[in-house]
Amino acid sequence: MFGEYREIVVPERIVQPERFEQAWYAGEGLNTTTFVESGGKTTLTVTCRYESKEIRDSVLKSPMEGGVSTSYDRLAELLPTFAAEREQMAS
């Protein structure tokens, strides 16, 4: 994937295009990632907008969801490690 960030609002939101070098769908998507902290936990939400309903539907029919899910599961495993390292550096 490649593209330039369109918006970064620390620590609330990132907006970036979704475009692949070897495109498997027409056009590009636009991803908006939001971070909402509550009670010491952060909820991450990604909204993907595509140029047409047909493109959206083709993406939803692809196996992409499995890869994304695996990536978020791996991130959930790594985050506690980063938090522990950060606490160690602070002390």
pLDDT in tens, 25-42: 777 889 999 999 999 889
Joined together, the tokens standing for residue 49 give 């907008």
Q: Which residues contact 55 (CB under 8 A, 6 or more apart)?
A: 25, 26, 27, 29
Torsion on CA atoms 64, 67, 68, 70, rounded to nearest 10:
160
Report how far Cα 7 is from the mean position of its chain's Cα atoms. Answer: 14
DSSP state of 9: E
Rounded to a whole number, what is the largest CA-CA distance in the chain? Answer: 53
Q: Where are the domains of the chain?
A: 7-90
In this prediction the pTM is 0.76
pLDDT in tens, 39-77: 988 999 999 999 999 988 988 888 888 888 999 999 889
